[in-house]
A and B are shown apart, each in its own frame.
Chain A
Amino acid sequence: MPKNNGHQNKNLVVIQLSGGNDYLNTLVPYQDGLYYDFRPSMGLKGDDVIPINDKCAFNSNMGPFKTLFDQNKMAVMMGIGYPEPNRSHFRSMDIWHTAEPFTSSSEGWLGKANSLIDPDGKNPVTTVNFGRGLPRALASQGVSVASVGALESYGLYTGLAGASNRDAMLDTVSRIYQPMADGGFPSRRILETGRGALDGADLLREAPSSYNSNVEYPEDNPIAQSLKGIAQVMSAELGTRIYYAAHGSFDTHTNELVNHALLWDQLSKAVECFWDDVQQQGKGNETVIWMFSEFGRRIADNGTGTDHGSGGVAFVIGDSVKGGLYGDYPKLDLSEQLEGDVHFNTDFRQVYSTLLEDVLGIESEPVLKQKFNKLDLVKN
């Protein structure tokens, strides 16, 4: 594999926080009186925050994040966003997935990255998605992504009773799922999907057998179980470069204090287990976690929650990451607000370009269609 800018190629684990994570109650400006003025019902203070400096504090349900932050393994991207923010979940998530704020595209940034990493589609498990359904971020013409629920039962006709002729059937199915030219029926995309499904199934089903770990992921925590699956695929060394999982819903219009706390408690425990596991596998240096949400929320609360806003917070985690705070904490003064939201100061595509080049080791411009200034995020 080629090296870029002296950086080792690494693997990327994406955790999507679906629904719009509330920036202000994640990284809390706990010394800013304006915050409490705008959040009479939702302002976090005292035991509900974990200060990291004299301005910012983590939500108290993020204990393990504080540990990673103190170890300089976590970059906190403050005020991240994009120009002309959109407050629709649908559209804003689409923008983060496609890295196209101004036009609609069906191609995902990681789908395109996959096709650069593996241009001939040789490895059907270059990208592995945990969960049902494919996020648009991973979609790209000609790219097949394995979407996995449970690794152990992954494959075709595995539960078929009385299929004495399974091998001949599989052979016929395999001959049918051969990509044809565009515009045919069935569509090229469906055929490619099938091809990838068949090729990836056998590889993935075997992954847990090589996994050996004493980390105990909480059973009733879906994101923890997804991250465990990722750790299992990692341990099988299948050449997977991109892993994807989602957690949510962070759409906390109401009852935010309870729901937001629960979500972060689950996520913190899951990430704590996963990072422990990654380090035990000796992969701390070659693994980078990227965690984002489609938008932050309004500065002012609505009594029990917060509505859709813009500008948010994101995280990059890894032994190879230069930990610390990036960007500026946006000002909350009325005169500094954007229609009741914070102004973004870091374009997320700068992070994308850094992750593409310094983590995945591919050119960012073909993916992002233009050159963005990278951030000095990655050590080696």
Chain B
Amino acid sequence: MTTATSARTDVSLIAHLLRRAGFGVTRDQIDAYTAKGYEETVEELLHPKQEEAADQDLLDRYFIASVEARSVGHADPQWAWRLATSQKPLEEKIALFWHSLLAVGGVKLDHGLEMLTEIELFRRVGLGRFQNILIEISRNPGMMYWLDNQNSHKNAPNENYGRELLELFSMGIDDLGGGAYTEDDVKTAARAFTGWASRPTPPPFFLGPFPMEFNFDSSDHDDGEKTFLGETGNFNGEDIVEIIAKQRATARFIAFRLYLFFVADEPNEPEIERLTDVFQETNGDIRSLLRSIFNSDHFKSEEVRFRKIKSPAELVFGTARLTDRFDIPDMESSSLANQALFMGQHLLNPPSVEGWHEGEEWVDSGSLIERINFASGEVGRTDAPGIQRMIERVGTSNDLLDPEEFVEACLDALGSIDLGDRSKSVLMDHASQVGPFDSDKPESEERTVEMFQLIVSTPDYQYC
């Protein structure tokens, strides 16, 4: 391998990592990360500094209604800004992962402030131990309300949380709807979580919303003996979570979900088995699991590159980030949340407790039209500094570029991405209709932008 080829390999590998561990980055940022090195970049991604964002004050000032966000719509400017600008991409990506897996939706919990609190919770604990994440979410007042645990009483347990905790949050169900647990385990879990609730808050209709608080009411808790997954004791919710976190089924379920979210839409059985072992060896340490994923030969292989359909959030924020146009929170940044909604992903409002389905289901003919229109609009923003730098990058060569070189230069400028052979050849054909690319010609900028727009319109661009 020549030095040039190897450098290009490094660049495209780093680009792959940042598409998966984040939302993609600009070509210049790829260079910076490449200089740092792959494993160092992985470690940096895995250890986001936990502190309030330096621009939180500005965001609150410009979007004052998002501070006391009464609804999900009022909260949008907050998360949209982070997704568009955060320099800690994995912190946002892991929050999105848990937001879909431990899903609480605004349809019922119409409380934007609490939804933002949950995203913050996932930023804070989302890379830690799974058992801790489950405990935190079980003590989350929004989740308790969402799954009706405030109506689960010592003498009349509400099964909703117990069921979803097992079925959707930890152990999973197989294809037939029967899992490694029984209906009795569901009922027992429900009993163990009696007394776990959200403290009542005043109605939001006259003074706005009030922050929600968790409350454990020991007088409403069923303290009796319980048998759960073969173990017997006077279990409380913490004990249930501890038992759940030990189960191989849980390890496998989380390994499976992490694989689908970070690696590929098509599950790879040996790799999921390997990750299941890592989960068990590390007591469910999510950071260790992700390190094991990102540093694996499987993750780095061509086999999984561009084998994951971008979620709307990945498509929207990944493309918007190319523009590098978000200096200060404004309506442009806050409206990005709506773009994801138009493509089928309403952030802070997953459709149900099962969150969103990853993979090809994201793309239907309606959402594909939204994707193409949005992405081509973004890369067409010639006034945006990021797009200007991309145009310059394509235009740096003094030589004429033949159609293949021109298409490759545009793909590189868009963040070292690639296309399948057929799409590439159609685009080369499109370029050849005008002839070689000459950066000195006045129409060169328009040609470049048009090629960017065509690239992001391809089916290939729907993959990350």
A and B touch in the complex (CB under 8 A): yes
Query: What is the interface of chain A, defined by CB distance below 8 A to chain B?
Result: 19, 86-91, 102-104, 124, 129, 132-134, 136, 139, 144-149, 154-165, 168-169, 172-173, 175-177, 180, 184-187, 189-191, 193-194, 196-197, 200-201, 249, 251, 253-254, 302-305, 307-308
**Is A132 touching B352 in the complex (CB atoms < 8 A)?**
no
**Is B364 touching A193 in the complex (CB atoms < 8 A)?**
yes
Contacting residues, chain A, for B453 (C-beta < 8 A): 160, 163, 169
A234 to B369: give the CA distance in the assembly, Å.
22
**Is B373 touching A159 in the complex (CB atoms < 8 A)?**
yes
Given A157-B373, A158-B373, A176-B457, 10 more pairs with CB closer than 8 A: A86-B177, A133-B351, A134-B364, A144-B365, A169-B454, A172-B426, A172-B427, A173-B372, A186-B420, A193-B368
Of B112-120, B153-161, B206-214, B290-298, the stretch lying at the interface with chain A is B153-161
Partner of B459, one of A104, A136, A191: A191
A147 to B426: give the CA distance in the assembly, Å.
27
Question: Chain B CB within 10 Å — which of A148, A184, A254 has the most?
Answer: A254
**Is A132 touching B366 in the complex (CB atoms < 8 A)?**
yes
Q: Output the least CB separation between B207 and chain A (Å).
A: 21
Contacting residues, chain A, for B341 (C-beta < 8 A): 132
**Is A197 touching B430 in the complex (CB atoms < 8 A)?**
no
**Is A303 touching B365 in the complex (CB atoms < 8 A)?**
no
Question: B44 an interface residue at 8 Å Cβ cutoff?
Answer: no
Q: 7 tightest A-B contacts by CB? A: A147-B366, A197-B365, A186-B459, A134-B364, A104-B175, A133-B344, A253-B148
Contacting residues, chain A, for B380 (C-beta < 8 A): 160-163
A157 to B51: give the CA distance in the assembly, Å.
41
Question: B361 an interface residue at 8 Å Cβ cutoff?
Answer: yes
A164 to B168: give the CA distance in the assembly, Å.
49
Question: B173 an interface residue at 8 Å Cβ cutoff?
Answer: yes
A180 to B420: give the CA distance in the assembly, Å.
12
A184 to B421: give the CA distance in the assembly, Å.
10
Question: Contact flags (1/0) for B94-120 with A, using CB distance below 8 Å?
Answer: 000000000000011000000000000
Given contacts A169-B453, A172-B454, contact A89 B151 (CB under 8 A): no
Contacting residues, chain A, for B377 (C-beta < 8 A): 159-161
30 CB-based A-B contacts, threshold 8 Å: A88-B177, A90-B168, A103-B176, A124-B365, A132-B342, A132-B366, A133-B351, A139-B361, A157-B372, A159-B373, A160-B377, A168-B433, A169-B450, A169-B457, A172-B429, A173-B457, A176-B427, A176-B459, A185-B420, A190-B309, A190-B360, A193-B365, A249-B352, A253-B160, A302-B158, A303-B156, A304-B151, A305-B148, A305-B151, A307-B158
A332 to B398: give the CA distance in the assembly, Å.
83
Question: B196 an interface residue at 8 Å Cβ cutoff?
Answer: no
Given contacts A169-B453, A186-B462, contact A193 B363 (CB under 8 A): yes
Question: B460 an interface residue at 8 Å Cβ cutoff?
Answer: yes
Contacting residues, chain A, for B430 (C-beta < 8 A): 168, 172
**Is B151 touching A186 in the complex (CB atoms < 8 A)?**
no
**Is A133 touching B420 in the complex (CB atoms < 8 A)?**
no
Question: Contact flags (1/0) for B420-445 with A, using CB distance below 8 Å?
Answer: 10110011011001000000000000
**Is A89 touching B344 in the complex (CB atoms < 8 A)?**
no
Which partner residue on chain A sits nearest B421 by CB separation?
A185
**Is A103 touching B175 in the complex (CB atoms < 8 A)?**
yes
Q: Output the least CB separation between A146 and chain B (Å).
A: 5
Contacting residues, chain A, for B173 (C-beta < 8 A): 88, 91
A144 to B368: give the CA distance in the assembly, Å.
12
Contacting residues, chain B, for A129 (C-beta < 8 A): 364, 366
Q: Output the least CB separation between A369 and chain B (Å).
A: 16
Contacting residues, chain A, for B460 (C-beta < 8 A): 185-186
Contacting residues, chain A, for B76 (C-beta < 8 A): none
Contacting residues, chain B, for A169 (C-beta < 8 A): 450, 453-454, 457
Question: B317 an interface residue at 8 Å Cβ cutoff?
Answer: no
**Is B369 touching A155 in the complex (CB atoms < 8 A)?**
yes
Which partner residue on chain A sits nearest B175 by CB separation?
A104
**Is B366 touching A146 in the complex (CB atoms < 8 A)?**
yes
A87 to B420: give the CA distance in the assembly, Å.
43
Contacting residues, chain B, for A191 (C-beta < 8 A): 459
**Is B420 touching A302 in the complex (CB atoms < 8 A)?**
no
Which partner residue on chain B sits nearest A158 by CB separation?
B373
Interface hits, B125-161 → A, CB 8 Å: 148, 151, 156, 158-160
Contacting residues, chain B, for A147 (C-beta < 8 A): 364-367
Q: Output the least CB separation between A224 and chain B (Å).
A: 19
Contacting residues, chain B, for A19 (C-beta < 8 A): 352
Contacting residues, chain A, for B458 (C-beta < 8 A): 173, 176, 186
Contacting residues, chain A, for B459 (C-beta < 8 A): 176-177, 186-187, 190-191, 194
Given contacts A169-B453, A201-B369, contact A186 B148 (CB under 8 A): no
Interface hits, B310-332 → A, CB 8 Å: none
Q: Output the least CB separation between A131 and chain B (Å).
A: 8
Contacting residues, chain B, for A173 (C-beta < 8 A): 372, 454, 457-458
**Is B342 touching A145 in the complex (CB atoms < 8 A)?**
no
